[in-house]
Amino acid sequence: MSASTGSPLWQGILIFVGCVFLVWELWAGWRRGLVRSAINFSAFVFSGILGILAGQAIAYVVEKMLPGYGLIAGAFVGSIVTLIVLALSLFLGAVLFKRTGQQPSAVLRLVYGCGGAFFGLLTGLLVLWGGITLIRSFGVVATAMAGNRPPAEVPAPTKALVKLKDSLELGPAGKVAEAVDAVPPEVYGIVTDLAKLTSDQSAMMRFLDYPGVQEIMQNPHVTALMNNPEVVRNAQQRNFLELMQSPALLDAVNDPELQKKLSRLDLQKALEYAFPPAQGSPTPHKPKTP
């Protein structure tokens, strides 16, 4: 699935749904009123921040007690905290404050309505911004999982995510989506290049020849991973869920010495070494080991 699967029809549907959602949020914000809509907008922002902070704290504690499960626990707790704070804020805002239609005078109704519509628009834009980031993020991961396999061998949900992302990125609208995406383009580039390594043997050899990568490959835990048939099979089949649950991988991830080597590795430079800038250019010089 290396070629783009974007569809103008799908992009049109995405844009239409986004516009309808913004209009709905404007109208809903007008009806909720200034205070309720301001609370709604603040709830979306601060519930996300609190969820991230809680998730990071739980991930740190669980990782110390149960190595390998910190990320999962942090994501779960962070999501729960986000949903609870959001639901509680929305409920209190709805109970304690009046709607636009409940205001006693026409002037107050106009002020409350316009203010509510403004915060409704901000809330809608915030949700759309998050939606764009999610579509592109999941799409890049799905593209990496699909690799160069024939479409018939790619699961339907993976194909749908790839098509959704490619459709979103078509034409001028795609440029806007890329510009507002919260994830830096460098991160997507690294994920894409890592996926290419599995299907480009010469690039993989250059990547493994990079000094920092060679240091990592010499670690006993990494050697054990490379000789583990189950790990190799899951990696070849891109079965990332099973791969992340592998005891051998968890042992390697929790090795302090390996963690130090991984932290010193400049992954971007290693990938640049694996993929020369242009065809016909000389093989990049192998960096010297410090």
User: Containing domain of residue 78, as a range?
Assistant: 8-183
Structure tokens belonging to residue 221: 């835990």
Both 12 and 151 in one domain: the answer is yes
Instruction: Please tell me whether residues 119 and 154 are part of one structural domain.
Output: yes
Residue 168 and residue 118 in one domain: yes
Averaged over 147-174, what is the pLDDT? 83
The reply to whether 2 falls in a domain is: no
User: Is 284 among the domain residues?
Assistant: no
Pair (167, 240) in one structural domain: no
Q: How many domains, the chain? A: 2
DSSP alpha helix (H) spans, the chain? 8-32, 34-65, 70-96, 106-146, 156-168, 171-180, 185-197, 201-209, 211-217, 220-226, 229-236, 240-244, 247-253, 256-264, 267-274
Lowest mean pLDDT among 52-56, 65-69, 76-80, 262-266: 65-69
pLDDT at 281: 47
pLDDT tens digits for range 89-105:
888 888 888 888 888 88
Give yes or no: residues 26 and 132 share one domain.
yes
104-117 burial code (b ≥16 CB/10 A, e <16): eeeeebeebbebbb
Given 118, 149, 183, the domain boundary residue is 183
> Does 192 fall in a domain?
yes
Query: 210 and 176, same structural domain?
Result: no
169 and 213 part of one domain:
no
Shared-domain flag, residues 179 and 192: no
Q: What is the pLDDT of residues 37-50, one digit of tens each?
A: 999 999 888 988 89
Same domain, 39 and 163: yes
45 and 95 housed in the same domain: yes
